[in-house]
């Protein structure tokens, strides 16, 4: 997204994005943290307030549009991305944010999701991944892990789940990032990077649902385990993790391997989020416990022409070429005749 500096340099604060509606998530829900960080990030974007648009689908996550004091559309289940695409094309100046969940986005809205990744319209998608249907009270979602007992899989889920990053990058996303819901600094940073990214940005937030999947991300996000179990990626920096950054990654044949670093950083890979070839980004996005740490931060960030730019460039050049100044010129072009 191109920066659209506020007129008269009106400085916006987090409060400017807090709506007057009471927030109704379960106390302790990870959604609160996403809301707070989003409001902070919005304030830092230096974008005219009237050009923010929040779009959501249906589910716990999607209530967020009512809590953000921006233009907003709380649409229908699975369709937020389609609504947002139409909006962005209609007015390319808008700073468009889609809020969706693992059910909303990866199940009923899956088609729109892959096409948004492919098209690269300049919209930002935040997926609240709690691996369950919260609002309908506990059914399996496309990211529910194998073995998890849910109301629709009482004997434990046996469906193979989606890895959101794999789907996104596989479908051509130019920006994919992952953050835990409890790392505020990283979340805000990733949101800002998504804002500055030209193209579809996908952010997966590992979000805790205190009611139905409480603690499902704990192994990754827990205070004691996170340094070993998260690899926080930074463009141009070596991939190190673990206490005192003792662990690194290397390539062995066709596979990634984690290994202990001997004295220093020399033997680990360096992160290149801007590499157009998506193979390494896919491999990073797919890393899972226990073999690997889970990759966090911006995994992929590649700039190409965006769909919204291409559409408007095509319109601009068609207008330049044509002799039509108005619809009347079109109507009178070709074979017409006059009756006196």
Partner 1 sequence: MSKSALSPEMRKAVVRFSGDSGDGMQLTGDMFSQASGQAGLDLTTTPDFPAEIRAPQGSVGGVSSFQIQIGGTEIYTPGDQVDVLVVMNPAALKANIHYLKAGGTIIADKDSFNPRNLKKADYDTNPLEDGSLEDYHIIRAPATSLTREALKDLGLENQAMARSKNMFALGVVSYIFSRPLANPKAFIQKKFASKPVLIDANIRALEAGFSFAESTELFGASIVIPPAKLPKGNYRNIDGNTAVAWGLLAAAENCGRKLSLCSYPITPATEILQELSARKDLGAIVFQAEDEIAAVCAAIGAAFCGNLSATTTSGPGASLKSEAMGLAIISEIPLVMVNVQRAGPSTGIPTKTEQSDLYQSLHGRHGEAPLVVLAASSPDDCFFYSYTAAKIAIEHSTPVIMLSDSYLASGTSPWRIPENGELPDIKIPRFRKPAEEWKPYMRDPEFLNRYWMSPGDKGFEHRIGGLEKKEITGNLTYEPLNHEKMTRIREEKIERIAKKLPKQKVIGAQSGKLIVLGWGSTHGAINMAVSELIEDGEDNVGFTHFNYIKPLPENTEEILSKFDRILVCELNNGQFVNYLRSKFPKFNYLQFNKIQGQPFFISEIKAEIINTLTQ
Q: Which residues bind ligand SF4 (CB under 6 A)?
A: 25-26, 29, 31, 60, 130, 134, 209-212
| Distances in whole angstroms, Cα of residue 235 to Cα of each of 61, 124, 189, 212, 232 | 29, 20, 13, 35, 10
- For 6-13, the CB contacts below 8 A with 24+ separation are 6/46, 6/47, 6/48, 6/49, 7/48, 12/42, 12/43, 12/46, 12/49, 13/43
Report if residue 124 touches partner 1, rule: CB under 8 A: no
Report if residue 2 touches partner 1, rule: CB under 8 A: no
Q: Which stretch binds partner 1 (CB under 8 A): 51-59, 204-212, 215-223, 253-261?
A: 51-59
Report if residue 185 touches partner 1, rule: CB under 8 A: no
CA distance 297 to 287: 13
Please spell the DSSP secondary structure of 288-308, one letter per residue: -TTTSPEEEEEEEE-----HH
Q: Which stretch binds partner 1 (CB under 8 A): 26-34, 170-178, 182-190, 325-333?
A: 325-333
Q: Which stretch binds partner 1 (CB under 8 A): 125-133, 169-177, 257-265, 313-321?
A: 313-321
Report if residue 91 touches partner 1, rule: CB under 8 A: yes
What are the residues facing 105 on neighbouring strands?
A: none
Q: Which of 2, 111, 265, 305 is in the footprint of partner 1 by CB under 8 A? A: 111
Report if residue 9 touches partner 1, rule: CB under 8 A: no
With 0-12 CB in 10 A as exposed, 13-18 as middle and 19+ as buried, what is 209?
buried
Report if residue 319 touches partner 1, rule: CB under 8 A: yes
Residue 58 site contact among ligand SF4, partner 1, none (CB < 5 to 8 Å, cut-off depends on kind): partner 1
Q: Phi and psi of 330, rounded to 5°?
A: -65, -45
- Kindly list the residues in this chain that would bind partner 1 in the complex (CB under 8 A): 19, 21, 48-55, 58, 65-66, 69-76, 79, 82-91, 93-94, 111-112, 115, 311-312, 314-315, 318-319, 321-322, 324, 326-328, 330-332, 334-340
């Amino acid at each position: 997204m191109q920066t659209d500096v506020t007129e008269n340099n009106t400085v916006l604060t987090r409060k400017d994005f807090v709506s007057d509606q009471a927030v109704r998530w379960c106390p302790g829900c990870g959604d609160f943290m996403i809301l707070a960080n989003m409001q902070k990030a919005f304030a830092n974007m230096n974008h005219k307030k009237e050009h923010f648009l929040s779009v959501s689908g249906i589910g716990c996550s999607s209530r967020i549009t009512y809590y953000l004091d921006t233009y907003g559309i709380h649409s229908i289940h699975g369709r937020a991305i389609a609504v947002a695409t139409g909006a962005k094309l209609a007015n390319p100046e808008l700073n468009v944010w889609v809020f969706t969940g693992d059910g909303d986005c990866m199940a009923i809205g899956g088609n729109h999701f892959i096409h948004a990744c492919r098209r690269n319209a300049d919209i930002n998608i935040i997926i609240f991944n709690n691996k369950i249907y919260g609002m309908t009270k506990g059914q399996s979602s496309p990211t529910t892990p194998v073995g998890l007992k849910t109301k629709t899989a009482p004997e434990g889920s046996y469906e193979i789940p989606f890895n959101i990053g794999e789907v996104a990058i596989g479908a051509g996303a130019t920006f994919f990032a992952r953050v835990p819901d409890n790392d505020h600094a990283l979340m805000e940073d990733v949101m800002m990077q998504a804002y500055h990214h030209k193209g579809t940005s996908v952010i997966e937030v590992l979000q805790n649902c205190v009611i139905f999947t409480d603690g499902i991300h704990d192994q990754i996000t827990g205070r004691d385990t996170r340094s070993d179990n998260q690899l926080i990626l930074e463009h141009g920096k070596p991939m190190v993790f673990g206490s005192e950054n003792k662990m690194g990654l290397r390539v062995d044949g066709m596979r990634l391997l984690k290994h202990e670093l001997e004295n220093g950083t020399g033997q680990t890979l360096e992160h290149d989020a801007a590499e157009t070839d998506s193979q390494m980004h896919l491999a990073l996005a797919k890393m899972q416990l226990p073999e690997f740490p889970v990759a966090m931060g911006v995994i992929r960030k590649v700039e190409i022409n965006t769909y919204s730019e291409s559409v408007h460039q095509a319109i601009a050049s068609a207008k330049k070429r044509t002799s039509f100044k108005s619809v009347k010129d079109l109507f009178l072009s070709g074979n017409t005749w006059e009756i006196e």
